[in-house]
Amino acid sequence: MCFVRVQRQARQHTIILMQTSQNRATRTFMDFDSMYYAMDGICGLYERKLKEINPALRNINYDISDLYNFIDGLTDLSALVYDHSIQAYLPYDRRWIKQKMLQHLRKLAQ
């Protein structure tokens, strides 16, 4: 039973909705096969931003507070996560995304 729950959570289709600035034209979305890939996608956005800002640096390091500042700096950020039990998407806010991000990065560090 526990294995099935973990496996099901790993496959939760996730849509990230975001707006990068006050300009409504910056509204966009990204969709991922799982929450795991969604968290990687958000990290990838931040890493691309860092590379834009620091094109001469080969290696760029950041910590969770830097990533949180990036997330908080977005005009809007939310997630829609598919719940198999009700066959619908559930909405989650920026705070939830930051909590999932911390869990995700902790798993990667192990």
In this predicted structure, the answer to whether residue 50 has a pLDDT above a threshold of 60 is yes
- Is 82 part of any domain? yes
Spatial CB neighbours of 108, under 8 Å, sequence gap ≥ 6: none
Domain extent for 54? 2-103
In this predicted structure, the answer to whether residue 7 has a pLDDT above a threshold of 60 is no
- Is 60 part of any domain? yes
The pairing of strands 14-19 and 76-83 is: antiparallel
The string of pLDDT tens digits covering residues 15-38 is: 999 999 999 999 999 999 999 999
The string of pLDDT tens digits covering residues 61-76 is: 899 999 999 999 999 9
CATH number at residue 38: 3.30.2260.10
Domain count, the chain: 1
- Is 110 part of any domain? no
Of 24, 10, 70, the C-alpha closest to 43 is 70
- Is 42 part of any domain? yes
- Is 108 part of any domain? no
What is the reported pTM?
0.84
- Is 109 part of any domain? no
